[in-house]
């Protein structure tokens, strides 16, 4: 009985040890915080207000201002997703709306490099 119990405990410990050797998948890149974004220096592109909720249809609003004030609304909305690279962003865009076939870097509007605008703008 003692030998069987020792074998069972040993097998259980071996199983636990094997589980500890697995590696977790890399974490998804963090998205930008909600707020008004603009290109520095001012005047390059329209200001964009991002809601802070990635991969949600219409989560960004483009404004006529180019100085970081997000004023003079244009009524244009865009969709921003978070992805490590263009292929990842395109896949996320397509999952939000099948009409999206591409992704444009959010850095053109002052957003971080992990933020992407789904295209075409619909």
CB 24 within 8 A of CB 108: no
Share of the chain above pLDDT 90, in %: 53
At residue 22, the pLDDT reads 54
82 SS3 class: strand
At residue 117, the pLDDT reads 96
pLDDT surpasses 50 at 69: yes
H/E element, 74: strand 73-78
Strand order in the sheet with 80-82: 80-82, 115-119, 102-105
Give the C-alpha separation, 3 to 68, whole Å. Answer: 73
Task: Indicate the pLDDT class of residue 83, thresholds 50, 70 and 90.
Answer: very high
- How many angstroms separate the most distant Cα atoms in the chain? 81
pLDDT surpasses 50 at 5: no
**Domain locations in the chain?**
35-119
CB 82 within 8 A of CB 114: yes
Tens digits of residue pLDDT in 18-58: 444 455 555 656 789 999 998 776 667 889 999 999 999 99
Q: Which of 1-10, 12-21, 58-67, 79-88 has the highest mean pLDDT?
A: 79-88
Residues pairing with 81 in the sheet: 116
At residue 39, the pLDDT reads 79
Can you tell me the mean pLDDT for 78-85? 96
């Amino acid at each position: 009985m003692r030998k069987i119990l020792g074998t069972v405990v040993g097998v259980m410990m071996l199983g636990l040890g094997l589980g500890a050797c697995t590696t977790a998948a890399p974490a998804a890149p963090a998205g930008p915080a909600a707020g008004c974004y603009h290109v520095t220096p001012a005047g390059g592109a329209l200001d964009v207000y991002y809601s802070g909720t990635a991969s949600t249809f219409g989560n960004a609003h483009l404004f006529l201002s180019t100085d970081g004030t997000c004023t003079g609304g244009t009524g244009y909305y865009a969709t921003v997703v978070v992805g490590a690279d263009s292929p990842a962003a395109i896949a996320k865009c397509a999952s939000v709306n099948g009409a999206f076939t591409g992704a444009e870097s959010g850095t053109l509007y002052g957003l971080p490099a992990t933020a992407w605008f789904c295209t075409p703008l619909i």
